[in-house]
A = this chain, B = another copy of it.
Amino acid sequence: MMPKDGIDRGSGVALWRQIADRLRQAIVDGEFGTDGLMPGEMALSARFAVNRHTVRAALAGLVEEGLIETVQGRGTRVRPPKRYSFPISKRTRFSEGLAGQIRERQVTVIEDGVLAAPQTVAEKLGLAEGHPVLRLVLVSRVDGVALSNSTNYFDAQRFAAMAERVRETGSITRAYRDLGVEDYIRRATELTARLADERERGLLDLKPGAVVMEARALNATPEGAPLQYAVTAFAADRVTLRLGDPIE
Protein backbone atom coordinates (compact mmCIF):
# COMPACT_ATOMS: atom_id res chain seq x y z
CA MET A 1 0.00 0.00 0.00
CA MET A 2 0.99 3.55 -0.65
CA PRO A 3 1.04 5.68 2.48
CA LYS A 4 -1.52 8.44 2.68
CA ASP A 5 0.83 10.94 4.15
CA GLY A 6 4.54 11.32 3.68
CA ILE A 7 4.74 14.54 1.72
CA ASP A 8 6.48 17.36 3.51
CA ARG A 9 5.34 20.90 3.05
CA GLY A 10 7.97 23.62 3.00
CA SER A 11 10.82 21.15 2.75
CA GLY A 12 12.32 22.77 -0.30
CA VAL A 13 10.89 20.08 -2.54
CA ALA A 14 7.73 21.06 -4.39
CA LEU A 15 4.66 19.01 -3.55
CA TRP A 16 4.06 18.04 -7.16
CA ARG A 17 7.56 16.64 -7.38
CA GLN A 18 7.21 14.62 -4.20
CA ILE A 19 3.92 13.25 -5.49
CA ALA A 20 5.43 12.47 -8.89
CA ASP A 21 8.25 10.59 -7.18
CA ARG A 22 5.84 8.57 -5.10
CA LEU A 23 3.63 7.72 -8.04
CA ARG A 24 6.64 6.69 -10.11
CA GLN A 25 7.68 4.33 -7.36
CA ALA A 26 4.15 2.97 -7.08
CA ILE A 27 4.14 2.36 -10.83
CA VAL A 28 7.39 0.42 -10.92
CA ASP A 29 6.13 -1.51 -7.88
CA GLY A 30 3.22 -2.56 -10.05
CA GLU A 31 0.67 -1.07 -7.70
CA PHE A 32 -1.91 -0.32 -10.38
CA GLY A 33 -2.86 -3.87 -11.25
CA THR A 34 -3.01 -5.55 -14.60
CA ASP A 35 -5.02 -2.90 -16.42
CA GLY A 36 -2.72 -0.17 -15.15
CA LEU A 37 -5.61 2.18 -14.58
CA MET A 38 -4.68 4.78 -12.02
CA PRO A 39 -7.04 6.47 -9.55
CA GLY A 40 -8.65 9.65 -10.81
CA GLU A 41 -7.21 13.07 -10.12
CA MET A 42 -9.81 13.73 -7.45
CA ALA A 43 -8.99 10.48 -5.68
CA LEU A 44 -5.28 11.21 -5.79
CA SER A 45 -5.71 14.75 -4.53
CA ALA A 46 -7.69 13.33 -1.62
CA ARG A 47 -5.07 10.67 -0.97
CA PHE A 48 -2.20 13.15 -0.81
CA ALA A 49 -4.32 15.88 0.74
CA VAL A 50 -3.47 18.47 -1.91
CA ASN A 51 -5.31 20.38 -4.56
CA ARG A 52 -6.24 18.64 -7.78
CA HIS A 53 -4.02 21.03 -9.76
CA THR A 54 -1.03 19.93 -7.74
CA VAL A 55 -1.73 16.32 -8.64
CA ARG A 56 -2.10 17.38 -12.25
CA ALA A 57 1.36 18.93 -12.17
CA ALA A 58 2.75 15.64 -10.88
CA LEU A 59 0.92 13.65 -13.56
CA ALA A 60 2.12 16.07 -16.23
CA GLY A 61 5.66 15.31 -15.13
CA LEU A 62 5.11 11.58 -15.47
CA VAL A 63 3.52 12.04 -18.89
CA GLU A 64 6.61 14.02 -19.87
CA GLU A 65 8.75 11.11 -18.71
CA GLY A 66 6.65 8.78 -20.82
CA LEU A 67 5.57 6.71 -17.84
CA ILE A 68 1.81 7.29 -18.07
CA GLU A 69 -0.76 8.56 -20.53
CA THR A 70 -3.93 10.52 -19.85
CA VAL A 71 -7.06 10.54 -21.98
CA GLN A 72 -9.78 13.07 -21.39
CA GLY A 73 -12.96 11.43 -20.20
CA ARG A 74 -11.34 8.06 -19.69
CA GLY A 75 -8.63 8.45 -17.10
CA THR A 76 -4.94 7.94 -16.57
CA ARG A 77 -3.17 4.68 -17.20
CA VAL A 78 0.32 3.34 -16.86
CA ARG A 79 2.00 2.89 -20.21
CA PRO A 80 2.98 -0.70 -20.83
CA PRO A 81 6.47 -1.08 -19.41
CA LYS A 82 9.08 -0.14 -21.93
CA ARG A 83 11.73 -2.51 -23.01
CA TYR A 84 14.90 -0.56 -23.53
CA SER A 85 16.85 -1.69 -26.53
CA PHE A 86 20.61 -1.93 -26.17
CA PRO A 87 22.75 -2.26 -29.28
CA ILE A 88 25.72 -4.56 -28.83
CA SER A 89 27.32 -4.16 -32.20
CA LYS A 90 30.97 -3.30 -32.60
CA ARG A 91 31.02 0.44 -32.65
CA THR A 92 27.97 1.65 -30.86
CA ARG A 93 28.41 3.17 -27.49
CA PHE A 94 25.99 2.55 -24.66
CA SER A 95 24.77 6.13 -24.46
CA GLU A 96 24.48 6.65 -28.19
CA GLY A 97 22.44 3.52 -28.68
CA LEU A 98 19.81 4.83 -26.32
CA ALA A 99 19.58 8.26 -27.91
CA GLY A 100 16.01 9.32 -28.46
CA GLN A 101 14.56 6.54 -26.35
CA ILE A 102 15.19 8.04 -22.98
CA ARG A 103 14.90 11.17 -20.93
CA GLU A 104 17.18 10.62 -17.99
CA ARG A 105 20.06 8.22 -17.71
CA GLN A 106 22.02 7.72 -14.55
CA VAL A 107 24.98 5.58 -13.59
CA THR A 108 25.65 4.98 -9.90
CA VAL A 109 28.95 3.75 -8.51
CA ILE A 110 28.20 0.99 -6.01
CA GLU A 111 31.74 -0.07 -5.27
CA ASP A 112 35.19 0.85 -6.45
CA GLY A 113 38.60 -0.39 -5.44
CA VAL A 114 41.96 -1.50 -6.68
CA LEU A 115 43.04 -5.12 -6.47
CA ALA A 116 45.71 -7.38 -7.86
CA ALA A 117 44.48 -8.78 -11.14
CA PRO A 118 43.41 -12.40 -10.89
CA GLN A 119 44.47 -14.53 -13.80
CA THR A 120 41.09 -14.41 -15.54
CA VAL A 121 41.02 -10.62 -15.62
CA ALA A 122 44.72 -10.10 -16.35
CA GLU A 123 44.44 -12.33 -19.39
CA LYS A 124 41.57 -10.34 -20.86
CA LEU A 125 43.20 -6.96 -20.31
CA GLY A 126 46.58 -8.15 -21.53
CA LEU A 127 48.22 -7.42 -18.18
CA ALA A 128 50.51 -9.45 -15.97
CA GLU A 129 48.78 -11.44 -13.26
CA GLY A 130 48.84 -9.36 -10.08
CA HIS A 131 49.05 -6.05 -11.93
CA PRO A 132 46.80 -3.55 -10.12
CA VAL A 133 43.36 -3.29 -11.67
CA LEU A 134 40.50 -0.98 -10.82
CA ARG A 135 37.22 -2.73 -10.14
CA LEU A 136 34.07 -0.64 -10.59
CA VAL A 137 30.63 -1.94 -9.75
CA LEU A 138 27.89 0.14 -11.36
CA VAL A 139 24.13 0.26 -11.57
CA SER A 140 22.58 2.10 -14.48
CA ARG A 141 19.09 3.49 -14.40
CA VAL A 142 16.89 5.09 -17.02
CA ASP A 143 13.89 7.16 -16.05
CA GLY A 144 14.50 5.92 -12.53
CA VAL A 145 14.26 2.25 -13.53
CA ALA A 146 17.29 0.07 -12.90
CA LEU A 147 18.36 -1.67 -16.08
CA SER A 148 21.74 -3.23 -15.44
CA ASN A 149 24.40 -4.00 -12.90
CA SER A 150 27.95 -4.27 -14.14
CA THR A 151 31.35 -5.12 -12.76
CA ASN A 152 34.12 -3.41 -14.73
CA TYR A 153 37.87 -3.87 -14.70
CA PHE A 154 40.42 -1.31 -15.88
CA ASP A 155 44.18 -0.98 -15.76
CA ALA A 156 44.47 0.85 -12.43
CA GLN A 157 47.60 2.72 -13.48
CA ARG A 158 46.14 4.21 -16.59
CA PHE A 159 42.61 4.76 -15.30
CA ALA A 160 43.18 5.63 -11.65
CA ALA A 161 40.67 8.48 -11.82
CA MET A 162 37.95 6.42 -13.50
CA ALA A 163 35.70 5.99 -10.45
CA GLU A 164 35.81 9.68 -9.69
CA ARG A 165 35.11 10.64 -13.29
CA VAL A 166 32.17 8.25 -13.55
CA ARG A 167 30.75 9.58 -10.32
CA GLU A 168 30.94 13.11 -11.61
CA THR A 169 29.86 12.67 -15.19
CA GLY A 170 27.42 9.80 -14.67
CA SER A 171 28.66 8.18 -17.86
CA ILE A 172 31.49 5.83 -18.77
CA THR A 173 31.86 7.32 -22.22
CA ARG A 174 32.27 10.80 -20.80
CA ALA A 175 34.67 9.50 -18.17
CA TYR A 176 36.73 7.92 -20.94
CA ARG A 177 36.77 11.19 -22.81
CA ASP A 178 37.98 13.05 -19.74
CA LEU A 179 40.79 10.54 -19.50
CA GLY A 180 41.88 10.94 -23.09
CA VAL A 181 40.05 8.03 -24.73
CA GLU A 182 38.06 9.51 -27.60
CA ASP A 183 36.81 6.31 -29.18
CA TYR A 184 36.57 2.64 -28.42
CA ILE A 185 35.01 -0.51 -29.80
CA ARG A 186 33.47 -3.65 -28.38
CA ARG A 187 36.07 -6.22 -29.34
CA ALA A 188 34.29 -9.27 -28.02
CA THR A 189 30.98 -10.03 -26.37
CA GLU A 190 29.67 -13.24 -24.86
CA LEU A 191 26.07 -13.64 -23.80
CA THR A 192 24.27 -15.96 -21.48
CA ALA A 193 21.24 -15.84 -19.19
CA ARG A 194 20.45 -17.07 -15.71
CA LEU A 195 18.38 -16.35 -12.62
CA ALA A 196 19.24 -13.12 -10.83
CA ASP A 197 21.11 -13.72 -7.60
CA GLU A 198 20.14 -12.10 -4.35
CA ARG A 199 22.50 -9.19 -4.66
CA GLU A 200 21.29 -8.36 -8.16
CA ARG A 201 17.71 -8.53 -6.99
CA GLY A 202 18.57 -5.92 -4.40
CA LEU A 203 20.49 -3.64 -6.71
CA LEU A 204 18.10 -3.86 -9.64
CA ASP A 205 14.91 -4.08 -7.61
CA LEU A 206 13.95 -7.45 -9.08
CA LYS A 207 11.51 -10.01 -7.77
CA PRO A 208 12.67 -13.51 -6.82
CA GLY A 209 12.74 -15.65 -9.94
CA ALA A 210 13.71 -12.75 -12.21
CA VAL A 211 16.07 -13.49 -15.06
CA VAL A 212 19.15 -11.54 -16.09
CA MET A 213 21.14 -11.62 -19.30
CA GLU A 214 24.81 -11.67 -18.56
CA ALA A 215 27.10 -10.01 -21.10
CA ARG A 216 30.87 -10.36 -20.82
CA ALA A 217 32.43 -7.71 -22.99
CA LEU A 218 35.93 -6.60 -23.83
CA ASN A 219 36.21 -2.98 -24.89
CA ALA A 220 39.30 -1.87 -26.74
CA THR A 221 40.80 1.03 -28.65
CA PRO A 222 39.95 1.14 -32.36
CA GLU A 223 43.35 -0.50 -32.87
CA GLY A 224 42.40 -3.41 -30.66
CA ALA A 225 44.30 -2.73 -27.43
CA PRO A 226 42.16 -3.83 -24.44
CA LEU A 227 40.73 -1.05 -22.27
CA GLN A 228 38.00 -2.53 -20.14
CA TYR A 229 36.60 -5.90 -19.24
CA ALA A 230 33.00 -5.78 -18.15
CA VAL A 231 30.50 -8.30 -16.85
CA THR A 232 27.03 -6.83 -17.07
CA ALA A 233 23.75 -8.26 -15.84
CA PHE A 234 20.76 -6.83 -17.70
CA ALA A 235 17.26 -7.19 -16.24
CA ALA A 236 15.76 -9.40 -18.93
CA ASP A 237 12.20 -8.20 -18.50
CA ARG A 238 13.20 -4.59 -19.09
CA VAL A 239 15.85 -4.84 -21.74
CA THR A 240 16.28 -6.18 -25.24
CA LEU A 241 19.80 -6.61 -26.54
CA ARG A 242 20.09 -5.85 -30.20
CA LEU A 243 22.46 -6.69 -33.03
CA GLY A 244 21.92 -4.57 -36.10
CA ASP A 245 18.82 -2.51 -36.74
CA PRO A 246 15.81 -2.44 -34.42
CA ILE A 247 13.05 -4.87 -35.41
CA GLU A 248 9.60 -3.47 -36.01
A interface residues (Cβ-Cβ under 8 A, vs B) = 3, 6, 11-14, 16-17, 20, 61, 110-114, 137, 168, 198-199, 201-202, 208
A14 contact set on B, CB distance < 8 A: 12-14
A137 contact set on B, CB distance < 8 A: 202
A111 with B202: CB separation less than 8 A: yes
Q: Is the interface of A mostly helix, strand, loop or mixed?
A: mixed
A12 with B12: CB separation less than 8 A: no
CB distance from A233 to the nearest CB of B (A): 15
Residue of B nearest to A14 (CB): B12
A3 contact set on B, CB distance < 8 A: 168
A201 contact set on B, CB distance < 8 A: 111, 113
- Report the separation of the CA atoms of residues A13 and B61 in the bound assembly, to the nearest whole angstrom: 13
B13 with A199: CB separation less than 8 A: no
A20 contact set on B, CB distance < 8 A: 12
A sample of 7 more A-B contacts (CB under 8 A), given A12-B14, A13-B13, A113-B202, is A12-B13, A12-B61, A110-B202, A111-B198, A111-B202, A112-B202, A137-B202
A208 contact set on B, CB distance < 8 A: 113-114
- Report the separation of the CA atoms of residues A199 and B201 in the bound assembly, to the nearest whole angstrom: 16
A198 with B113: CB separation less than 8 A: yes
The residue from B11, B17, B113 contacting A11, defined by CB atoms under 8 A apart: B17
- Report the separation of the CA atoms of residues A208 and B112 in the bound assembly, to the nearest whole angstrom: 10
CB distance from A204 to the nearest CB of B (A): 11
Residue of B nearest to A199 (CB): B111
Residue of B nearest to A137 (CB): B202
CB distance from A199 to the nearest CB of B (A): 7
